[in-house]
Every structure is written in C-alpha cells, then in structure tokens.
Amino acid sequence: MPHDALDALPDGVVLAGPDGRVLVTNTVARRMLGITEDLTGMPLMAVLALSDHDGNGWVESNAPYAGLPSRTAVPEQSWLLPDGTEVLVAARLHRKERGGPVETVAVSLRSGRGRARLDRERSDLVATVAHELRSPLTGVRGFVHALLNRWDKLNDEQKKLMLNTVAADADRLSRLIAELLDVARIDTGRLQMHTRPCDVVVLCERVVASVQQATSRRIDLEVHEVPKVAADPDKVSQVVTNLVENAVRHGEGDVAVTVAPDPADPSFVAISVVDEGEGIPEKLRQRVFTKFWTASSGGGSGLGLYIVNGLVRAHGGTVMIDDRPGGGASVTVTWPVHAG
C-alpha cells in the first residue's frame, strides 16, 4: 500500500519485515509514538514504545516472531503510550506459507477514547435500565407480598385495587422489555420488517381510537386523500402510537393528527402529530432522538422517539420536529408511497 494511502487511514500503522525492523509507518503512528524522524530500518521494539501498567513492552510481551507457527494475529489489547495515553493495539502476522516464518508484522494503533466512551455509554445504559425496571418491580413485589400476608384481612375492593396495580406494573414491564428489544434490533441492524401496501388512514384511525379511550384529552384526526404506503403496518402503528401518546403525555390541550401527501415530495405520505404544549426547543431537537432522553416532566422510558426515528428511517422515511403556530410541538413522519 502506498505511503499516502497509509497516511489517509484513521489509525496508526507500523509494518515490520522478517528481520524485526520497521519497513514503513504512517503519520498517525508517528504522531502517537511521538517520533518525527525516519523510522525505516529501526527495530520494531525500539519504535513501539508501548508499555502496560507493569512496565512491560508490547514486543517483549507478545513476541510476534515467535510462538506457534499457526499463529496469524495478536488480539487487540490496551497499551500505554509514552505520555500515558491509552491506545488499542492489534497486529496481523503474515506468512508466505502456512506454518512458515513470519514475513511481515502489521501493527495497528487506535485511540482508546472511543472504547472508554463506549464503556461509559454501556454503564449508563445498564444503570438506566436497572432504574426503569426497579420501579414497576418494586410495586409488583410490594402488592404481591401484601396480598399474600394479609389476604384474609383485605376486602374484595382492596384486593381488586392491588391486583389492578400489579397488572398495570406488569404491562409497563412488558412494554419496557419490548422497547429494549426494539432498540437492540435497531442498533444491530436486525430489525425485521414485513413491508406491504398499507392504508395509513385506517391505521391512524385505529391508533387514535385506542389512545382516546385512555385519555380525557381530545385527539382530532384530519385525513386527506393519500395513496397506500410501502411499510410494515405493525411498525406504522407503533410509530403513530408512540407519537400520539407522547403528545398526550407531554403536551397540553388538544392533540391533532393529520394524514396528507408530503408537500415536499409527493412520493411520500406525511403523518403529523401536533400538541399545544411548550414545544421542543430547537437546540434539543436532535437530542430527543437519543436513547433515554426524557423531558423534565411526564415520565416514560425515554426510548419512544429513538425507536420512532429508527423505524421510520428503516423504511426510508424521515422524521422532522417543528413548532406549532401559537405554541406546541409538531412531529412529522413520512412514509414512501407504494409503487404498485
């Protein structure tokens, strides 16, 4: 690979020949290692000035030219640069023939900051999930114990109230687990969709009727003539339900749902959900699509809009947040029109 191509790589690269001496390095590797002069011909041990927390060097610890003749790689490990910065180091051991001597050692170095950030995100995820699961589980456990220990002392009305609460908390747990599974599928690209022609008007009517039964807030549905869209109807219903319930939970006054051709592109159908609340400040409109983002009030797992964004974009659609004239938020999702 030409030197300029190696310099274009985001990671540091060091190549050494069969004699253990450096053949080539790229700019990133030289910057990481703090070396400015020509490194060609220098021993790999001298160039890779890396150490672990016990002061051991990378070359001495991994012995890339020794070991089993079937070895082809050194797995990624965390090492420290001379300035104490963490880097992740891996290597490939190239042989002309299987079982033959190592002809080339290709070492890659990349910053450990990304892994540290990922570790923090995973820790935050575990902590948030634990918190979200603990609340309904505490309710279920408390009422079940009360029923078991005081069954004969409770009247039918008290038992019914407790069982209704347990059922509600169990439903909340089921929803949270389903949301977490959706997040995992979106993140890993394993989202299963059964796309077919869908009548979004019928789907929106069903969602509005369902959510309306659980709230005293009025939900208006305005429908324009639209073609069928190419989508998974279950995913469309999930998206619209999330948006309408979110508008009811966080907004004020009436909620309006509109189904119409997308004015920006007639090959899409737009579904808009508008509330009369405080709206979403422009500086927060990208953050609302991140995991576990929640407003200051209203509760919820903070996964709804993340899932909405993932499901809509998986269909090739878009999600846009805007202000409602007079106050409130407007969230619009678009779905591709069925080409048949």
Query: Structurally, how many domains does the chain consist of?
Result: 3
**Cα dihedral sign, 234-238-239-244:** positive
For the CA atoms of 41, 47, 48, 51, the dihedral, rounded to the nearest 10 degrees, stands at 140
Residues 6+ apart with CB under 8 A from 61: 52
Considering the domain architecture, whether residues 28 and 106 belong to the same structural domain is answered as yes
The secondary element (H helix, E strand) that includes residue 116 is: helix 113-150
Nearest CA to 65 out of 98, 96, 89, 101 is that of 101
pLDDT attached to residue 108: 92
Task: Using the predicted structure, report yes or no on whether residue 14 has a pLDDT greater than 90.
Answer: yes
Considering the domain architecture, whether residues 204 and 332 belong to the same structural domain is answered as yes
Residue where one domain finishes, among candidates 111, 139, 161: 111
Global confidence as pTM: 0.60
Q: In the chain, what's the furthest Cα-to-Cα distance?
A: 88
Considering the domain architecture, whether residues 14 and 107 belong to the same structural domain is answered as yes
Q: What six digits make up the tokens of 230?
A: 């190419």
Q: What CATH number is attached to the domain comprising 64?
A: 3.30.450.20
pLDDT attached to residue 248: 87
Q: In what order do the strands lie in the sheet with 319-323?
A: 219-223, 255-261, 268-274, 329-336, 319-323
pLDDT band at 84 (very low <50, low <70, confident <90, very high): confident
C-alpha to C-alpha distances, 238 to 232, 274, 340, nearest whole angstrom = 10, 17, 24
Considering the domain architecture, whether residues 121 and 106 belong to the same structural domain is answered as no
pLDDT band at 77 (very low <50, low <70, confident <90, very high): confident
pLDDT attached to residue 268: 95
Considering the domain architecture, whether residues 207 and 332 belong to the same structural domain is answered as yes
Task: Using the predicted structure, report yes or no on whether residue 118 has a pLDDT greater than 70.
Answer: no
Residue where one domain finishes, among candidates 188, 214, 244: 188
Considering the domain architecture, whether residues 106 and 121 belong to the same structural domain is answered as no
pLDDT attached to residue 76: 87
Considering the domain architecture, whether residues 39 and 145 belong to the same structural domain is answered as no
pLDDT band at 82 (very low <50, low <70, confident <90, very high): confident
Considering the domain architecture, whether residues 149 and 225 belong to the same structural domain is answered as no
Residues 6+ apart with CB under 8 A from 135: none
Considering the domain architecture, whether residues 216 and 324 belong to the same structural domain is answered as yes
Considering the domain architecture, whether residues 263 and 152 belong to the same structural domain is answered as no
Q: What is the mean pLDDT of the chain?
A: 85
pLDDT, tens digit (0-9, with 9 covering 90-100), for 295-314: 554 455 677 788 888 999 99
Considering the domain architecture, whether residues 330 and 218 belong to the same structural domain is answered as yes
Nearest CA to 253 out of 272, 279, 271, 281 is that of 279
Residue where one domain finishes, among candidates 188, 220, 236: 188
3-class SS shares of the chain: helix, strand, coil, % to 5: 40, 25, 35
**What gap in Å lies between CA 329 and CA 309, rounded to an integer?**
16
State what percent of residues in the chain have pLDDT above 90: 39
**Cα dihedral sign, 145-149-150-151:** positive
Range of the structural domain that residue 146 is part of: 115-188
pLDDT attached to residue 36: 80
pLDDT attached to residue 300: 57
Nearest CA to 255 out of 276, 279, 280, 278 is that of 276
Considering the domain architecture, whether residues 168 and 211 belong to the same structural domain is answered as no
- Residue 323 is classified by DSSP as E
Strand partners, 273: 257, 331
pLDDT, tens digit (0-9, with 9 covering 90-100), for 123-155: 766 776 777 778 788 888 989 999 999 999 999
pLDDT attached to residue 301: 60
Q: Phi and psi (nearest 5°) for 277? A: -85, -150
**What gap in Å lies between CA 268 and CA 334, rounded to an integer?**
6
Q: What CATH number is attached to the domain comprising 252?
A: 3.30.565.10
Task: Using the predicted structure, report yes or no on whether residue 87 has a pLDDT greater than 70.
Answer: yes
Q: What CATH number is attached to the domain comprising 175?
A: 1.10.287.130
Task: Using the predicted structure, report yes or no on whether residue 1 has a pLDDT greater than 60.
Answer: no
